[in-house]
Structure 1
Amino acid sequence: MRHPPNRGFNHRQAVTEEWFRTQVLPRVSSARFLPYQMRQMRNEHLSAMLRDEDRKSIARIAGDLVKVSARWRCLPFHYFRYGGYRREVSTERACSYLPESALFHRLLPRVNRDAIDLDDKTSCKRILASAGIPQPALIASGDRRAGVTSDGETVSLRNVLDRASAFGRVVVKPSRYSSGGSGVVIVRPGEDAFDLPAYAQRWGTWLVEQHVPQHSDLDVLNPYALNTFRVITLLRDGTAEVLYVMLKLGGAESTTDNSAAGGMQIRVHPDGRLDRHGYDRSLNAHTCHGGSSVPFADHRISRMTEVRELAERCARLFPQVPFIGWDIALTPGGPVVIEGNSSPSLAHIQRTHGGIALELVPALRSVMDRPII
């Protein structure tokens, strides 16, 4: 008689979180999703449509909305998010855009199963470090009570940044449950007044890591922030594949590269060539960054092969999370991994690559419902 394999605490924790992610979280997020989308429509997308002089007639838009809703069985908020109302966008093309509700409520919970170690930024850094993955140095991590340095020494919250003074600028960010650059703060220990105990009370777990310099290929595009690549990988049968690469440029008055702070995204081709246009969160097309005169169309990023290969190496370390968005910075010494995201931004992908449903949905279905090991 064969006995079932002995399952330890980690497996039970993974199964519990899996149940929460697939059964509870979609219901909770669905309840919050409608008000969020309504706010986005009111504050951003509707006004953008009304300003667009090249929009379709009301009759054509209404016909599109019926077909898009029938295709995806959801309210078509994404039609406005991705500019489906523009004359140049055919109904077929409008239907090719994947709605956020389809990805995050139907597909992703059945694809990315055990994402605990990836979503906890401190755990992720330790896994990457064990495999020799280049990344910003971890200085300390902790919670509301105390911090722990990278060499395992427990220190008070008020003394954490004293240990970071040799690193110059450092980055403080939440260890879990944040997105879009929320909570990310750049601090100069000894110069800036920063209250880590108050920060910990707000965000819970946190980490402090080295702030890395960026390569000149990126600095000439936007010197105001650390601009990173969002590299989307898919792991199938042990083989990692890069699906999409975007460059995220921060706003001229922002220290982070997220679009909510005035940033934009640009498609990056495998040879490092940038697309002609970058797009902000309202889908406005830009030929260069506001803080630079360097056109995107004539610019090529060096070492892109290394960036893509690094993302593939990282993807193989998280077999339970096949679909990951890696944030990778390019420093003068080469690419370094900032973090991985188990819920990569669909908006980033479709702003730069257009509607990707026809290729992405079958790819995700091919890795759905695998057992938790």
Structure 2
Amino acid sequence: MIPKHQKEGFRVFLKDKRKKSYPKIFLEFLSLWREKGEIPLYYFKYLYRKDVTNVKDFLITKEASKIQRSRNLHKEEYLSIISNKLIFSLFCKKNNLPVPELISYNFGSSFYYEGKCYKVSNNRELTAFFKEVFNKTGKEKLFLKPFSLFGGRGACIIRKNKLEEDVKENASSIIENDCIHEDVLIQHDEVNKINPSCINTIRFETYIDDKKGIHVLDAFMRFGTGDNIVDNGHSGGIYVGVNMQEGRLKDVALEEIHFGGRDYFEHPTSNYPFKGFLIPYFNEARNLVIEATEFLPDRFIGWDIAITNNGPVIIEANEYPDLFMGDTSYGGYLKNPLFKEMLAEAG
């Protein structure tokens, strides 16, 4: 059975006026199939467009999977730290790497704050728990995310001034999951001009070569849209490539095809233009992911970095980052010699 998001994507493709002629599409599709040895269904996510003239520079599904699952690039010992948001937060704190402040957490209906376990079985008890946390910490809101968060799913914000409302809306999801509860970062004023509704992060992808050299392969910046509290492309966010030499955004933000596959020269909510936007603390953010990789030397990691008025902060690391967004924002990862080297190293 074809997944719903693929059906939606194919509908967008059929209606898209940016697509090449059908004969051109057929020839490119057939050529990729012959050369790559895989039915290139990924072609219909982005490569069908008239402005994409280098279709063979983009990753096929097998290549992306090879990198993500490679035993040469990943170690289980490192993945166990990266994949669990609670362990990762504690690990970073231990090594003085900047992360959002961990306030509390829960394993299902067992909630933990300042060395004490609270048993929660209903909305009233959950409200009482957060009320105590807010009163003792002086915080106004908390950002909750499951230990194994993917694509922003399951994340929520609990606000002190709307506590009962937020608990009512999110209680079942929180109690059914294992979640960390973090302080909500205050985003840099310049980034807020583009989108203040959520923390918008830079995704850096790092690679450690066979001589232990650490490289930053590429970066793109993700932005939430509307009132979305996460910036993830799998949750309807958009993403735009970064000029790595200048730390400036490229011209156009892209959107996953099953959400419409639109191009955005301006943010759809704020109408702020992307072209040439200078990311605050970009060099510091780049240096931070290199430093973090020294502490956590998995050979391929996707790092999500937020920018505050005081500098960059690590939001999370991703052990199996989705390569599609980086591939399209870069303009074809196989143009990057380091990426081709990493693909060969993947085994």
Give the structure-1-normalised TM-score. Answer: 0.81
Pick one of 184, 188, 194 that aligns with 1:221: 194
Alpha-carbon shift at residue 99 of structure 1 (Å): 2.4
**Structure 2: runs of 5 or more not aligned:** 121-125
Any residues of structure 2 matched to 1:358-369 within 5 Å, and which? 358-359=335-336, 360-366=339-345, 368=346
Give 2:96's aligned residue: 132
Q: Hey, what's the Cα distance between the residues in 2 that align with 1:107 and 1:40?
A: 24
Any residues of structure 2 matched to 1:1-373 within 5 Å, and which? 35-36=2-3, 39-44=4-9, 46-82=10-46, 84-90=47-53, 93-104=54-65, 106-110=66-70, 111-114=73-76, 115-149=79-113, 151-157=114-120, 158=126, 159-165=128-134, 166-176=138-148, 178-189=149-160, 191-193=162-164, 194=167, 198-203=172-177, 205-236=178-209, 237-270=211-244, 271-282=246-257, 283-319=261-297, 321-359=298-336, 360-366=339-345, 368=346
**1:121-162 Cα deviation digits (max 9, x unpaired):** 11111111111011110011221241223x433233435423
Change (3 A) 1:332 1:198: same
Name the amino acid aligned to 2:75.
Answer: R
**1:274-301 Cα deviation digits (max 9, x unpaired):** 1111111134221110222332114211
Alpha-carbon shift at residue 255 of structure 1 (Å): 1.4
Say if 2:142 and 2:159, in contact at 8 Å, map to a contact too.
yes
Say if 2:280 and 2:307, in contact at 8 Å, map to a contact too.
no
Say if 2:153 and 2:235, in contact at 8 Å, map to a contact too.
no
Structure with bigger RCO (C-alpha 8 Å, 6+ apart): 2
Q: Hey, what's the Cα distance between the residues in 2 that align with 1:125 and 1:100?
A: 31
Say if 1:96 and 1:355, in contact at 8 Å, map to a contact too.
yes
Q: State the SS of the aligned residue for 1:191.
A: helix
Give 2:123's aligned residue: none
Give the structure-2-normalised TM-score. Answer: 0.86
Q: Hey, what's the Cα distance between the residues in 2 that align with 1:293 and 1:265?
A: 15
Of 47-56 and 188-197, the range deviating more from structure 2: 188-197
Q: Hey, what's the Cα distance between the residues in 1 that align with 2:333 and 2:206?
A: 14
**Structure 1: runs of 5 or more not aligned:** 1-33
Say if 1:252 and 1:262, in contact at 8 Å, map to a contact too.
no
Say if 2:140 and 2:161, in contact at 8 Å, map to a contact too.
no
Q: Hey, what's the Cα distance between the residues in 1 that align with 2:132 and 2:268?
A: 37
C-alpha RMSD of the superposition: 2.1
Q: Hey, what's the Cα distance between the residues in 2 that align with 1:210 and 1:342?
A: 23
Say if 2:144 and 2:181, in contact at 8 Å, map to a contact too.
yes
Q: Hey, what's the Cα distance between the residues in 1 that align with 2:251 and 2:230?
A: 23
Say if 1:246 and 1:265, in contact at 8 Å, map to a contact too.
yes
Alpha-carbon shift at residue 197 of structure 1 (Å): 5.9
Q: State the SS of the aligned residue for 2:68.
A: helix
Q: Hey, what's the Cα distance between the residues in 1 that align with 2:141 and 2:37?
A: 48
Using the aligned pairs only, state the percent identity.
Answer: 23
Q: State the SS of the aligned residue for 2:295.
A: coil
Corresponding pairs, count = 324
Change (3 A) 1:145 1:42: closer
Of 285-294 and 129-138, the range deviating more from structure 2: 285-294
Q: Hey, what's the Cα distance between the residues in 1 that align with 2:194 and 2:161?
A: 30
Name the amino acid aligned to 1:180.
Answer: G
Of 118-127 and 354-363, the range deviating more from structure 2: 354-363
